[in-house]
Every structure is written in structure tokens, then in C-alpha cells.
Amino acid sequence: MQIGVLPPGEPGVFRSLLLPEAADALARGEALTALGLTENGLALGAAAGYLENSQFQLISLYVAPAYRQRGGGRMLVDALLELLPGHAAGMTVRFTVTEEEHRTIAPFLAHLGFAREDDHGQSIYLTTLSRVMQLPFYQSQPKGRGTPLCELPESDLTALAHAAQAAQAPLPPGGLHGEWVEKQVSVAYLENGVPQGYVIGDTSWPGGLTLSAVWSSGVYPTLLVSLLRIALARAVERYAPETVLAIQAVNARSAELLRSLLPDIEPISFTYRYPLSSVDKTLSE
């Protein structure tokens, strides 16, 4: 097997071996480092990434299933690592387990010498509605006030968006008017027209639900718990018990809250890093 550099421009036969965002970036001529793996002229795999804040972000790594277990993946990673001394302090890989084969990524990276990084709570957690229904947290009668987004006037939605932006609070992809937002499940609380918090659900997860944005003004300490319970109760009413529920934590505090309320949730997003011994001072500043 041989390794070659993919020049900027159309990735050609390697397009199907790169994630779409990597292939498109290469086609646009962006500052992307991409390698191709071949054998006897046949494209077997590819890897791609870019330099950001002295870290090389590996965003795409793939070897065709029929050619795995032959060292091709290691060859691609090793070839990239050989390019980095003097340019990067290390290589970082972030991935989310959305398919069964993704579970092999962590042991593969560990075998190459990568170590799992602390994500400071910024993880995606996974459970199902049926598991949520069995938890004491869910079985408690929903309390407090919360209105589904589908029942809020446009003026309240605008106020919610402005309050969230002012507080630099998380918003779902596309904002509160995004195409994925599930307005029947998403709930918010406004007091005298003043936004106090929300829990936003969306359908961006294939075949499931995502709780993608949670925010509270901090005026009412228990508001988030109340809104979360109401949102989950509405989800249970509308979706089958086996529906997958993905929850995005944005910091250590929100991750701790999720783990305390839903102790059986599993992290499915991970960050691994391979440190290099040195980097040019100008690049690390």
C-alpha cells in the first residue's frame, strides 16, 4: 500500500472515502491536508485535516472495509504525524458514535498512542425514551410553568432568541426557527414577557430526538429541571418508547446536571489527542 498527497481541487476517486465536509473543502481549495491510500492503483482509504490553534484537527479517516486490518489506517495517521513536527503541538480527533462500527475508533486511537481528553462536559449523551420513562426523575409529576414553542407568539420567540444571544446561550442549529426544531416538544418560560429559560428539542438525530439547547437566566434555580421534565413528558406523548434521545451538554455544569437526573445516559462523543514534543513558538502563541 502507498500513501500520496491529494492536491487541492476535485478529490476524484477519493471523494467517497472522505467525509463530505472534507471532500468539499478540498474541492474548494481550502487549507486542508489530505492523503490517499492506494494499492495497485486502487483507492483504498483517505485522511484529511487542518491546523487550528497549533493543533492538527483530523476530521476524516476511512479505509474501505474489505481492506481493513492490514495497517492502512495506521499508515495514514503515521504519515500525517510525520508532517506535523515544527508545525503543530499535536493531533486531535473528535468523533461521535452514531453507528456500531464507530465503537472501534477509540481502541484504534488508543493503540496508536492517542489519549482521551477531558471535554469539560461538552459531550453528547445517548439514551432512549423508554429508559427515561423508568427513571424517578421522569415519573415525578411535571411541575412549574412552561409553554411549548408551537403555542408562543412570534414576539415571544423573537424575545427568546434575543435573550439567548445576549447571554451567549446555546441555540439549536439554525436558531429557534431552524428547520429541525421540534416545536411540540421544545418548551420555554417567559415571565411578563421576559424570557427566563428554555429546553429545545430537534430532529437532527436520524430517527430520533436531540435536546440540543438548554438555557436559564438563573433567576429561578429549579427552572431547568422543571422545563426538562415537561419537555421529556411531551416527547413521550408524541414518540415511540424506543426513540433514541441524544442530549448535548455544553459545559461541565450541564453535564453534571444531566448525569444526576438521568444516571443511565451514555457519552457518545469523544476527543482523543496525540501530543508532539515540540512546536514552533510562533505557532503556539
pLDDT attached to residue 248: 75
pLDDT attached to residue 37: 94
CA distance 224 to 238: 21
Taking the alpha carbons at both ends of the chain, their separation in whole angstroms is 38
- Say which residue the cell 481493513 belongs to: 68
Q: Shortest CA distance to 157 belongs to which of 135, 175, 138, 134?
A: 175
Lateral strand order in the sheet of 42-52: 2-5, 33-39, 42-52, 55-63, 90-96, 269-275, 115-116
pLDDT attached to residue 14: 92
Cross-strand partners of 125: 247, 267
φ, ψ for residue 278 (rounded to 5)?
-150, 160
Angle at 225 between CA 222 and CA 231, to 5 degrees: 140
Residues of the chain with pLDDT below 70 are 97-102, 119-122, 141-144, 250-251, 277-285
Model's pTM, two decimal places?
0.62
Q: Which residues contact 6 (CB under 8 A, 6 or more apart)?
A: 14, 26, 34, 35, 36, 46, 48
Give the helix ranges, DSSP H, for 136-264. 136-139, 154-166, 223-238, 252-261
φ, ψ for residue 194 (rounded to 5)?
-100, 120
pLDDT attached to residue 283: 34
